[in-house]
Amino acid sequence: MFKLCVCPGDGIGPEVTKSALAVFETIAKQAGIEYEINEALIGGAAIDATGEPFPEASKVTAMKSDAVFLGAVGGEKWNEMPVSLRPERGLLALRSTLETYANLRPVRMFAGLEDMSPLKADRMKNGIDMVIVRELTGGIYFGARQEGDNVASDEEKYSRKEVTRIAHVAFHTAQTRDKRVTSVDKANVLASSRLWRRVMEEVALEYPDVALDHLYVDNAAMQLIRDPGQFDVMVTNNIFGDILSDEASVLVGSIGLLPSASIGESKALYEPIHGSAPDIAGQGKANPVAAILSMAMLCIHSLKRKDLAEQIEKAVSVVLERGERTGDLMQPGCEIRTTEQLTEAIVREIAK
């Protein structure tokens, strides 16, 4: 029995979660997968109900589950709360509870959406279909910190163990795709990057079917704009991944299209990369695709059913190309759909 913990959260979170669940239930029933869904409070919704952004009961539900799905958290209503009680704290607590060390962000250009990209068409002649694998629990964000009036420092430190496990995630991911890994570092300057590069080379020997190459981070930032179609899987450390994944996310047209997965030793968290979008919450304007594609990632990484993920991705692709769109992707000749209508169209396509 597959146990899914669902945390809808705030703003458009519950709306897009409903869409993702409709898709999950359709695909699970079709594939004969037995499942149990347990809802947990997080963010502002949890603060309103219990006074805390990630209450103990939610932690217990998350830890008992095989995977966690999160909508989004946050909103103006809770902006005046002390920092330790803000909705975003709930999300950080959830991530650290699950100990997810690898963040995966696929970036894909859907057919028919090329004009939504800030890049000129000739930059995308090879399309865009890549996954950024970012190390999430080590490096400079967690290193020793010293903060004085005249001098301050932050330590970038990686162990062989930390690099090895993220390397395996990257190579495994590449095996399910085009079998190419680009490791991004700054090995011409940083000792931590030289260890990173050595370990990547060592782990690569275990994956003879996957090609590995290396790029310095400054070059990687340029190449993402110059020719994003050249990449399959890009693996990098915490800080470089933070910056490069945001850079890559603007290439495909709307933040409402981008899913993510965060993988740990035994737990995984799936969530759209967007926030709670208070400006459009409750109006049926949210694009559900990022949340729905996060469920496709769950099929790959938690259910080990790439075939089901492909079925979801194909349905999304067909519906978007047909011109059924939420407002964020409006173009001449397209037809506007609410969150619910777009979800129904995708579910119908899956059920075909």
Residues carrying an active site annotation: 141, 186, 218, 242, 246
Closest to ligand NAD by CB, 89 vs 186, is 89
Tell me the two tokens of residue 188.
Answer: 């011409």
Q: What does the CA dihedral 106, 107, 110, 114 come to, rounded to 10 degrees?
A: 180
Q: What is the distance between the alpha carbons of residues 38 and 1, in angstroms, rounded to a whole number?
A: 13
Q: Are 330 and 318 in contact (CB under 8 A)?
A: no
Among 25, 39, 66, 88, interactor with ligand NAD by CB under 6 A: 88
Per CB under 6 A, 106 contacts ligand NAD: no
Among 47, 212, 286, 303, interactor with ligand NAD by CB under 6 A: 286
Nearest in space to 119 (alpha carbons), one of 222, 215, 216: 222
Per CB under 6 A, 90 contacts ligand NAD: no
The CB-of-293 to ligand NAD minimum distance in angstroms stands at 11
Binding mask 247-266 for ligand NAD (x = CB under 6 A): --------xx----------
* β-bridge mates for residue 100, sequence order: 264
Per CB under 6 A, 276 contacts ligand NAD: yes
Q: Are 163 and 199 in contact (CB under 8 A)?
A: yes
Among 62, 102, 220, 290, interactor with ligand NAD by CB under 6 A: 290
Please choose, out of 150-158, 194-202, 279-287, 292-300, the segment that lies near ligand NAD by the rule CB under 6 A.
Answer: 279-287
Per CB under 6 A, 275 contacts ligand NAD: yes
Report strand pairing: 211-216 vs 152-154.
Answer: unpaired
Closest to ligand NAD by CB, 225 vs 255, is 255
Applying CB under 6 A, the site for ligand NAD has a residue count of 23
Per CB under 6 A, 17 contacts ligand NAD: no
Please choose, out of 70-78, 95-103, 202-210, 342-350, the segment that lies near ligand NAD by the rule CB under 6 A.
Answer: 70-78
- What are the angstrom distances between the C-alpha of 193 and each of 140, 157, 213, 224? 12, 9, 14, 20
Long-range contacts of 29-37 (CB under 8 A, 24+ apart): 30/350, 30/351, 31/305, 31/308, 33/2, 33/303, 33/305, 34/1, 34/2, 35/1, 35/2, 35/3, 35/4, 36/1, 36/2, 36/3, 36/4, 37/4, 37/5, 37/6
Q: Cα-flanking dihedrals φ and ψ of residue 212, to 5°?
A: -115, 135
Closest to ligand NAD by CB, 193 vs 287, is 287
The CB-of-327 to ligand NAD minimum distance in angstroms stands at 7
Q: Which residues bind ligand NAD (CB under 6 A)?
A: 12, 16, 72-75, 88, 91, 255-256, 271, 274-280, 286-287, 290, 326, 328
